[in-house]
Amino acid sequence: MPLTREEIEEIVGRALAEDLGRDDVTTEALIPREQCGVAFLVVKEEGVLAGMQLATEVFRQVDPQLQVEVLLQDGARVVPGARVARVAGSVAGILKSERVALNFLQHLSGIATETARYVASAEGLPVRIVDTRKTTPGLRALQKYAVRVGGGDNHRMDLADGILIKDNHLAALRKQGLTIKEAVARARQHAPSSLREIPIESGRRGDLQSGRAPLEVEVRTVAEALEAVEAGADIVMLDNMSLDDMRRAVKSIGGRAVVEASGGITLHNVRAVAETGVGLISVGTLTHSVKAVDISLELEVQ
């Protein structure tokens, strides 16, 4: 997991406070505290599992006496009927934990599963599928972890992770009379010396100048792409370009910078985009609108 034990405990604690509120009044009214049982977390569709550590922590916080046995680990390819965990102990504790544990598992498994589909679609081509910052507030680290479980890679974790000059930056600078070249020069001049490298170099970290913060520029035309490369950009993001323009941009750049495709990427066109020769494909839907994997809790009362 990308988080410390303390951070995981805090995230799960917040989720439980949100769901349990003052208490589970239904369970308290109906289920004797001494009643025990066994429950299995069961997958209902094919996918890639992610979030087991979060689910386990949910059960632990609700009732430390619950015995949780993890049957499948994150990254496992699951099929309908697969049991991923066994929980034994207080029925009341199991029921109070159910929804939050499933929420983490379903959502993160959905991200891992969708990422795996994109990665498989581009299999055999020298390209990496990366995520974006289009994440659920407060859950970014978890969602980006799920992308990695699915075989993808992470773009910037936050705004301090690298310089990315986007269209609105350029629009504001053009009002000041600055060109892309001048924007890149200004960013280089004012970049903090402590800026760490962004982890999206597509296996080409050696191409980036040692000791210099990698800098990315978002462009919408082939001409802008060439201007960005000639200005010294390390990464050029081709935003919502046609396949023909992507191919032209990649050919014109000629390996002088890492090329990233972004905008309008779907499972239907991701391979065609990869075949243009780009090194990175960023996909916002991996985190901002993914479908959850169907996972349920099946209780066996003793």
Active site residues: 99, 134, 166, 218, 239
Only one residue has tokens 């009341």, namely 92
- Tell which residue, 45, 119, 124, has the closest CA to residue 78: 45
Under a CB-based contact definition with an 8 Å cutoff, are residues 253 and 203 in contact?
no
In angstroms, the CA 116 to CA 109 distance is 10
Residue 205 CA: distances (Å) to CA of 164, 187, 239: 17, 20, 23
Q: Which residues of 88-114 are buried (b: 16+ CB within 10 A; e: fewer)?
A: bbbbbbbbbbbebbbbbbbbbbbbbbb
In angstroms, the CA 189 to CA 184 distance is 9
In angstroms, the CA 252 to CA 259 distance is 11
* Tokens at 71, concatenated: 């049957």
